[in-house]
Structure 1
Amino acid sequence: MNIQLTIDGHRVDATLNDSAAARDFAALLPLTRDLEDFHQTERIAYLPRELDTSGAPDAVEPKAGDLAYYAPWGNLALFYRDGDSPSASLVILGRVDGGGTDRLATADRITIEAAS
């Protein structure tokens, strides 16, 4: 599924994968959230409810541009740098297309919606 992110007023394209968690996340759209930095690697925002993580792998190593869900905290994670190790309970939802990853490093607010 193609989605659009509006990061501090700038539109960026992204694509969700075909996982149960990504489909469940898509059902929440449109969604606007304030972002905060986490470990100078990702911007995070809390979702209004938990996502379905059935069938998710045990651990993944996130890369810059990944959109992910961290199940224990119920938050969306938008990676602007590569993670340094595999993370249990992190579910990749999709990826930012093109050069939008750079905007994430300083983003304070994001709106996510289905692409028209």
Structure 2
Amino acid sequence: MNDQNNPRDAESDYADRIKLTVALLGKNNKASDVMLARQLGRNVLLEELGAIEEPYRALQPYEIDSNQRDNFAVHTREDIVMVYSLAVRANEQLYEIRSLVRILIALLFFLTVLFFISVIWR
């Protein structure tokens, strides 16, 4: 993706990772969704560490000062809150879908009963 002689920006590096993942795993399946999420997380981490613009830094252990560490902590908290809110919303939507399915099943049962009653009364 990214070699030492040709540094690139985070967007093009991420785009290449996405293309490779889709080419290997396809689209819209569990494995590709998980891998795409991992690629996004890895790309954000490497970008924040400066390893994409300066590829040699990716090979070295993380060397961060206290300001960078604090910045990572703040971003981590922000990410956790975003993920939590998305999980809560997904859970709410799941309950809404379950309610709609129950209503649909009840309606289908009612229509089936009406159909059999109409057949019997003929």
Q: Does TM, normalized by the shorter one, top 0.5?
A: no
**TM-score if structure 1 supplies the norm length?**
0.23
Q: Which has the larger radius of gyration?
A: 2
Between Structure 1 and Structure 2, which shows a larger proportion of strand residues?
Answer: 1
Q: Which has the higher contact order (CA 8 A, sep 6+)?
A: 1
Between Structure 1 and Structure 2, which shows a larger proportion of helix residues?
Answer: 2
